[in-house]
Amino acid sequence: MKSLFIKDKNFFPIPEDICAAIGNFDGVHLGHQKLIEECKRVCKLKGYKSALLTFYPHPSVFLKKMENYPLVTPLEIKTDIVSRLGLDYLIVVEFSDEVANMSKEEFIKSLQFMNIKACVCGYDFTFARKAEGTIDDLKDNFEFYEVKKYVFDNVRVSTTYIRELLSIGNVREAKRLLGRPFIIRGKVIFGDQNGRIIGYPTANVDYKNAFLPKNGVYFVNVVVNGITYLGMCNLGHHPTFEFTNEIRMEVNIFNFDEDIYDETIDVYFVDRIRDEKRYASVDELKKQLRIDKSMCLELAGDMNYTK
CATH number of the domain to which 247 belongs: 2.40.30.30
Q: What is the pLDDT of residues 138-179, one digit of tens each?
A: 999 999 999 998 999 889 999 999 999 999 999 999 999 999
Give 140's strand partners.
none
Give Cα separations from 293 to 127, 192, 197, 217, 220 (angstroms).
48, 21, 17, 10, 11
Number of domains in the chain: 2
Same domain, 215 and 275: yes
Q: What is the pTM (predicted TM-score) of this model?
A: 0.92
- What CATH number does residue 88 fall under? 3.40.50.620
Residues 6+ apart with CB under 8 A from 280: none
Segment among 9-13, 156-160, 211-215, 283-287 with least mean pLDDT: 283-287
Same domain, 197 and 118: no
DSSP 149: P
Same domain, 210 and 124: no
Q: What is the pLDDT of residues 78-111, one digit of tens each?
A: 999 999 999 999 999 999 999 999 999 999 999 9
* Inside any domain, residue 31: yes
- Pairing of the two strands 203-206 and 216-224: unpaired
Same domain, 139 and 228: no
Contact call for residues 58 and 72 (beta carbons, < 8 A): no
Residue 148 — left, alpha, or beta (φ > 0 → left; ψ -120 to 50 → alpha)?
beta
Task: Tell me: pLDDT of 225 over 80.
Answer: yes
* Inside any domain, residue 174: no
The reply to whether omega before 74 is within 30° of 0 (cis) is: no
Of 133, 136, 145, 140, give the one whose Cα is nearest residue 99: 133
Please state, in angstroms and rounded to a whole number, the distance separating the CA atoms of residues 276 and 296: 16
Which structural domain, as residue segments, surrounds residue 126? 15-156
Q: Is 285 helix (H, G, I), strand (E, B) or coil?
A: helix
Give 206's strand partners.
187
What single-letter amino acid sits at 127? F
Residue 46 — left, alpha, or beta (φ > 0 → left; ψ -120 to 50 → alpha)?
alpha
pLDDT at 194: 61
Same domain, 129 and 44: yes
Task: Please state, as a whole number, how many other Cβ atoms lie within 10 Å of the Cβ of residue 298.
Answer: 11
pLDDT at 305: 47
Q: For the residues 2-30, what does the mean pLDDT come to? A: 96
Q: Is 186 helix (H, G, I), strand (E, B) or coil?
A: strand
